[in-house]
Structures are given as C-alpha cells and as structure tokens.
Structure 1
C-alpha cells in the first residue's frame, strides 16, 4: 500500500475539523458538492471519504437528510474489534457471490476496463489503485445497489484501524505476480460468463491472502521470540557475567 488513497487524506482532514469544533457533534456536514470544492477533489472521492468516516463511527448518514457528526465516545467502536482475518473472510464470502452474479451481467465495456487494471498491475504502476478498481468494477457490474454498498463498506474497513492497515501492508508487500495471476483467473472466468468458476477464482484469491496473513504474523511472532531469546542469552551468559565483574 505504497500509494496512499486520496480519500483517506480527506478523512483525516474532516476528522481534524471535527476535533477542532468546525463540525460540531450533531451538526450536518456540508453537501457533497461543497466538500468537493473545499478539498479540491472529485465528488466520488468525497463519497469514499464519507463511507470511511461512517465505518469509523465519526458520522451517520441519514437518507434524504444528510451526513451528521456523531459523538464517537457514545457508542462502542465495533470496528476496533474487527481484525484482518475476519475482514478478508467476509470479503471472500461477499465478493465470491458478487463475482458469480457479475458473470451474468458484466458488459464487454466493463471487461475491457477490468483488463486495463491487469495491465496496470503488470506494469507495476498504481498497484493499489488497480486492485481497488478491479474489485470495484466487478461489484458495480452486478447492477445491485445493495451489494455495491456492501462492497464499498468492506473496502473502507481496510483503513478503519491501525491493526488492519498494518496487516494489509504486510500482504501488499508480497510478490505481486501471484495477485496478478489470481486477478487474471477471475477476469477469464468473467469473460466466459462462468459464474461457478468466477466464484471459485475469487475464493482462491482471498484464501491465499488469508494464508499470507498467517505466514507473516507467524514470522513476526518467531522474530519476537528470537529477539527475546537473544536478550536473555546475553543477560545470562557467563561471558557477560565475567565482563561485569571485571
């Protein structure tokens, strides 16, 4: 995750404005258009930021009314209890079915856009953006607003806590060729309009991510044990005791 998403910077600025009292608890945020002008970004970027703020329980979106600042201390921060394993498993289940549904509704134009993200990944240019675009195009091709909203919320959870961000950073630092191969398999299944194959390819993609998470965390744990053992070895070594006495 080398390239930080633009919407995340907007999230930080709005949170800072809330902390400084510019947007008081209970007040309504300015309309999407005004926020886009204020922060000099597109309206879709503002929408992504609002989704992230809602996941972080800084705002509440009331349909037909607007976006309101909430008292973060008045509710349990559920997102802090979500870990990267739970998020990845949830994404696998939801996006597996999204891929299966998309196989029957995706257009040739959307397939072309999907292929473009593979080219972006192959060129190692904007890898994170290409990854998001890939999954987003598939969700949007379902034509199901509920599933699209679920996808957007799950994606926003990637940035909802420091622990999840750190864990996903570890995953993103691994060999990009495997991710590209998995995305290609999903793309090929969608191109053939094969719902079952698309679902399975998406599941295999997330299954590897979960295994990578386990491998990385295991390596971290082993390194911590090694560090403590080395410290204890120095502490209790006879050579060290002799040096202290001399």
Structure 2
C-alpha cells in the first residue's frame, strides 16, 4: 500500500492514521523498523516536524516503540500498553507540540512587545517572581512548570488584554497534553530548564527597558530555541 500525500489539517493525526493502516495491513510488520523520518516526510510530502509529531502520537497510543539511537519499531501488540491493556487514545482536539510552539512564537512575541510598552512595576515584579520560582524548582531538580506558566501569564497580564491573557493560558495549558508530555520526556532536564530561565531573563530585561522590539525579539528567540531543543532531543532518541 503506497503512502499518500495529506492535507495540512491536524496533519500529525492524518500521518499517524496512514501509518496505522500500513501496520494493520501488514505493510509494516510487528518488530520491523519504520522508514527513516526524512524518508517518511519525503513520501508524504510533509515536514519532518509533522512526521515527528505523528510518531510521538503512535508511541503514546502504543503502536510503536522508540529505541534510543536505533529508530522507531512496530510493537508486537499494537495499540496496547506493557500490561496488554488498551493504550490511551489522544483526543482529536490535541494540538501538535511543535506546531503549538510556532503559534506561541507569533502571538507571545507580540504580547511581549505590548508588555514592554504597558508594563507597570507590579507586572515586572510578577515576572521576576515567576523566574525566581522557576530557578528554585530547577535547583531542586523539579520541573518548574508552575513558574513557567506564571511567567508567560504575567507578561500577558502586563499587555492588559483579557483575550490575549486567556489565549496564552490556553496555549500553555495545552502543553499538559500527552503528546507534549511525551516529547518533554526526551528533552526536559535541569540543563534545559536553566537555558529557558536565561532566555526568560532576557525577555524581562527588555520589558524593564520598555523596549518593545527587544522584548518581541527575545520572546521569539526563546520560542525558537525551545523548538530547537525539542527537535534535537527527538533526533537523539530517533537516530534515523
């Protein structure tokens, strides 16, 4: 069964569905290694990040296993967890994590620019407090998720627009979905969080300086580096 081109709507789900069909039809047999990510992307006519999200979805749902430094393999009991029970299903509404980061880059970059113009002392203090909370958790070896959410929320509050605030909160809370959490397993560590904290500090410095262009650029750079860290971590796990 040949692979087919797909339309860019919840792209990772369409890719995952095609791969599932190939597994159930016997095209990709249990125990076999899937084609390299770059080859799948070329055959499907999509980007490698979209393929990456689809493979993560298949891993979460128990169809494949990622073997570090080796590749992605079809499981003997497709769709089952280690105990043989049915693996969890990813909600149809779940966004792809890499696509989400790209959306956040666009919107939160502009929000940071607004915050640099409008932020008051109380907002800057809230942003600084959030960074301090992140630093404390990181040094204790705890993922600083509460502080990270507080940081992005405080910047949105400084922009003084409730629609933007709720959008940022929705974006951030979407990272609690199974796809993002699984990708985070490959990436998140004390060193990676320290890098993120440093990037946050640059955003705060620009807001304190009331420099909207610098704040916008700093937030966009933070999102670009987050995207790169997530992608690099997956490449290390899946050396195909």
TM-score between both structures, scaled by the size of structure 1: 0.55
Superimposed CA distance per residue, residues 28-77 of structure 1 (whole angstroms, 9 cap, x where no aligned partner): xxxxxxxxxxxxxxxxxxxxxxxxxxxxxxxxxxxxxxxxxxxxxxxxx5
Indicate the residue corresponding to 1:219 in structure 2.
Answer: 236
Kept in 2, the 8 Å contact 1:171–1:209? The answer is no
User: What does 1:192-207 correspond to in 2, within 5 Å?
Assistant: 192-207=209-224
Q: 1:170 aligns with which of 156, 174, 186?
A: 186
Secondary structure, aligned partner of 1:100 = helix
> Which of the pair is proportionally richer in helix?
1
Q: How many residues align?
A: 146
Q: 2:123 aligns with which of 86, 107, 110?
A: 110
Indicate the residue corresponding to 2:167 in structure 1.
Answer: 150
Indicate the residue corresponding to 2:205 in structure 1.
Answer: 188
Q: Does 1:122 align with 2:135?
A: yes
Q: CA deviation at 1:168?
A: 2.9
- What's the RMSD between the two structures over aligned residues? 1.9
User: What does 1:89-100 correspond to in 2, within 5 Å?
Assistant: 89-100=102-113
Distance 1:96 1:89 in 2: 11
Distance 1:78 1:169 in 2: 22
The more displaced of 190-199 and 170-179 is 170-179
Distance 2:134 2:180 in 1: 23
Distance 1:96 1:152 in 2: 15
Pick closer, same or farther for the CA change 1:149–1:171 going to 2, 3 Å: same
Pick closer, same or farther for the CA change 1:131–1:210 going to 2, 3 Å: same
Q: Which has the greater radius of gyration? A: 1
Kept in 2, the 8 Å contact 1:84–1:168? The answer is no
Superimposed CA distance per residue, residues 95-124 of structure 1 (whole angstroms, 9 cap, x where no aligned partner): 001101111111101111211222223333
Secondary structure, aligned partner of 2:160 = coil
Kept in 2, the 8 Å contact 1:100–1:198? The answer is yes
Distance 2:131 2:173 in 1: 22
Superimposed CA distance per residue, residues 100-156 of structure 1 (whole angstroms, 9 cap, x where no aligned partner): 111111110111121122222333366211111100000111111111121122112
Is there any run of 5+ residues in structure 2 with no aligned partner, and where?
1-90
Kept in 2, the 8 Å contact 1:118–1:180? The answer is yes
Q: CA deviation at 1:172?
A: 2.5
Kept in 2, the 8 Å contact 1:105–1:142? The answer is yes
Kept in 2, the 8 Å contact 1:100–1:195? The answer is yes
